[in-house]
Amino acid sequence: MAAEEKYVLIAKGGYLQTPVVERFTISEDDEEFKNEFDDFDEYRDYVLEEAAAELCQKFAEVLIVTEEEFNQIKNL
């Protein structure tokens, strides 16, 4: 079975008018992983860094957590 991880990105501040919350899944089945990366850890790091970089360019604060961590925080 292919590795699959779920994340939640939360960003606020900077030039953002409203906070941003995005859910996304990273999988070994992703075309980009199959075509450009040999290692899933390298691919995961790349995807997470790219997701944050786009919003950091708008001077936003960005937090990316796993879906499990997000659910724990949400239930506090």
CA atoms in the 13 A half-sphere facing the CB of 64: 21
- Every domain of the chain and the residues it spans: 4-74
What values do phi and psi take at 66, rounded to 5?
-70, 160
User: What are the tens digits of pLDDT across the range 14-60?
Assistant: 999 999 999 999 999 999 998 999 899 999 999 999 999 999 999 99
Based on C-alpha coordinates, what's the Rg of the chain?
A: 14
How far apart are alpha carbons 51 and 42 in whole angstroms?
Answer: 14
The span from the first CA to the last CA of the chain, in angstroms, equals 33
Over 70: is that where the pLDDT of 1 sits?
A: no
